[in-house]
Structure 1
Amino acid sequence: MAPPLELSRRRFLTGAAALAGTAFLASCAGLPGGTSARTLQFWHLLSGADGVTMSGLIDGVNAAQSDYRVRPTVLAWGEPYYTKLAMAAAGGRAPDVSIMHASRVVGYAPGGLLDTWDTARLAELGVDSSTFTEAIWRKGFIGDDLYSVALDAHPFILMYNTDICDAAGVLDSDGKLRPVTSPEEFLEMARAVAGASESHGLSYGYLGDGAQMWRLFYTLYTQHGLEM
């Protein structure tokens, strides 16, 4: 959806994601051939299945209107991407919109490498705090300014076998896990489940990489009210 003429491109979409979002960083240029449509340069680091999904979204946006065209560039994930993004922004040659992890926003925004979102315009387009959980929406703010609008998030969820947990006596009257108020109580519950299953009472994760371990540690650490 294109912004009105009185709204600059930099004000229409600005920021970086939570977990991943988009940021407008530079000026738009017209398309070759003398068309009036503007080109939005879009950098992202999505490959694999998420890259296919993003390509489909971009194709849909380009096909839905003729005011502008989104032109994506896919770069290598990690430090090479963020180094190029910072250097391009500092040198005045940044893409119009880009994706970054929310943890990076606090390093980019104070240096003037990102603009703020126009929250009033976003609300007109149906994007506001009601669209997200409170924690994800607030993650995009630095002070009173919104720099980041999340494309996705990576929550940890707890799944349990209701038959085994029922046999272990750890379900409430609604068939859900009883509330746990301490680590000791959680371990006691896991031991009861292990006894009922005659095997493991608790397992973690679907990926054994360092990023998953870090996310879990960071989650538990900050639940104590601590900050990194």
Structure 2
Amino acid sequence: MFPFMLRLAGPAATLAAALLCTAPRACAQTELRMWTLLGGGDGARMAALVERFNASQREVRVTSTTLAWGEPFYTKLITSSVVGAGPDLAIVHLSRLPNLAGGGVLRPIAAAELRTAGLAPGDFYPRQWQKSLYAGRNYAVPLDLHPLVLYYNKALAGRAGLLDADGALKPLVGIDALGDAFRAVRQATGRPGLTMESSQSSYAVWRLWVSMLAQRNAPLIRDGRFAYGAAGADSLARVARWFQLGYAQPGLDYAASTGQFMGGQAGFMINGAWEVPELVRASRRGTLGFDYGIVPLPRMYGNDSVWGDSHAFALPANAGKPLPPHKLRAALRFVAFVSRNADAWAEGGHLPAYRPVAESPAVRALMPNRLYAGAARSVVYDPDGWYMGAAGPLEAMASKYLPAALSSQLTPAQALRLFDTEAARILARRAPRY
């Protein structure tokens, strides 16, 4: 050791070490608070990614808190951000971005800020990136895409003559072909041809209805007013008919409908891709009792449109308490880590939005995701509007009235009239600024 270094021993050495930490945050660990609405398998996977990130370095520690899905989460996020008490980072749905960004709940993310984390708009699929923009500015980093898909029980579908020589579902093209498939299972097996959540407050009928409108090139809303017209009434009547003819059991909540399919008691299930992990887990354990398949939602009308949504990372504005630079860098560093390790997230059935991972050989070969990955080309989100999106005001009203048409409590025309009348009041309101 050189003489001048020896002279730094003792108290002087401590002083020298302290001087080395005079750069901002040089020696302190940055604590990052994140809120999510991810439950079940999604919650477990995100928790594992957080743990991996925390273990991969010492500069940043992410603490994740899971809140109740839906409106409770968004109400708390909005309220906390307005008073400056929100988290540093949040996972939201892109369908809620017009409400959150337009309402001042989120802060924009500049391209230069993304570059510090090694991210760029071109790293993400255009449809998801475009949905991350509001008024021309970026407010979120998309994580995934989760579309509506069609699950099928190969044993029941096979008995109904619906499988080809390789054991895959024969193409179902047209609304009549889809209904005929449900009927064939019912007649051949005595079990429901279809299961989907259909109780009051169910969202599945809204997602299916939005898909059907898009396939018919029928706008839901135009110039601030409902514009679905005869196409909307006919589409809802078609779905209601499946229930009236006994192809599907009305009144099932989410758990009951998924349980019906998982128990081998229904030929088909219309649900989101987020149910994939449960099927994979049960199949691996040998407790499922049947082989299953998945296909994109069939083309019922003129195109392949299908409802979908995306989880995304966003930065709450936290009025009066803007995110310090060191926390911004930490947040985007974590977002980049999750994006680059989204193969683990894909195991939850989601299609990654980060292209380098989504287009990797491993993810492209991932089963059963590759069976429905093509749906990403045809996804449609809820139309833009402060009242739209996951568990938003309009979807809540739709879940109040549309399921009643499936249980014959209301005719499809009555259900839509009540929905239209009540929801029109929301459409007429000025977008809130929180």
Q: Same fold (TM over 0.5)?
A: yes
Structure-2 residue corresponding to 1:87? 79
Q: SS state of the match for residue 90, structure 2?
A: strand
Change (3 A) 1:87 1:190: closer
Determine which structure has more spread, i.e. the larger CA radius of gyration.
2
Please say if residues 192 and 201 of structure 1, whose CA atoms lie closer than 8 Å, have aligned partners that are also in contact.
Answer: no
Q: Which runs of 5+ in 2 are unaligned?
A: 1-23, 222-434
Residue identity over aligned pairs, in percent, reads 31
Deviation at 1:163, TM superposition (A): 7.0
- CA drift of 1:36 comes to 2.5
More helix by share: 2
1:155 and 2:138 aligned:
no
1:204 matched to 2:195? The reply is: yes
SS in 2 for 1:46: coil
Q: Which residue of 2 aligns with 1:177?
A: 170
- For residues 38-53 of structure 1, what are the structure 2 equivalents within 5 Å? 38-53=30-45
Question: What do residues 51-101 of structure 1 show as CA deviations (whole Å, max 9, x unaligned)?
Answer: 333222212111112232212233343333322321222233332101222
Give CA-to-partner distance per residue, 1:184-225, whole Å, 9 cap, x none: 343234444545x34347313379661333333333334333
1:161-202 Cα deviation digits (max 9, x unpaired): 56765676656788652351x32343234444545x343473
Distance across 2 between alignment mates of 1:49 and 1:166: 30
Q: Counterpart amino acid of 1:145? A: R
The alpha carbon displacement at 1:35 in A equals: 3.9
Q: Is the counterpart of residue 74 in structure 1 residue 74 in structure 2?
A: no
Aligned pair partner of 1:110 in 80, 102, 106: 102
Q: Give the alignment's TM-score, normalised by structure 1.
A: 0.63
Deviates more, 1:204-213 or 1:88-97: 204-213
Q: For 1:96 and 1:140, locate their aligned partners in 2 and report how far apart those are by CA, in whole Å.
A: 18
Q: Which runs of 5+ in 1 are unaligned?
A: 1-29
Deviations 1:10-30 (Å, cap 9, x if unpaired)?
Answer: xxxxxxxxxxxxxxxxxxxx9
Structure 1 residues 186 and 84: alpha-carbon distance in aligned structure 2, compared to 1, 3 A threshold: closer
| Cα offset, 1:115, TM superposition | 2.5
Q: 1:55 aligns with which of 47, 55, 61?
A: 47
TM-score (norm 2): 0.37
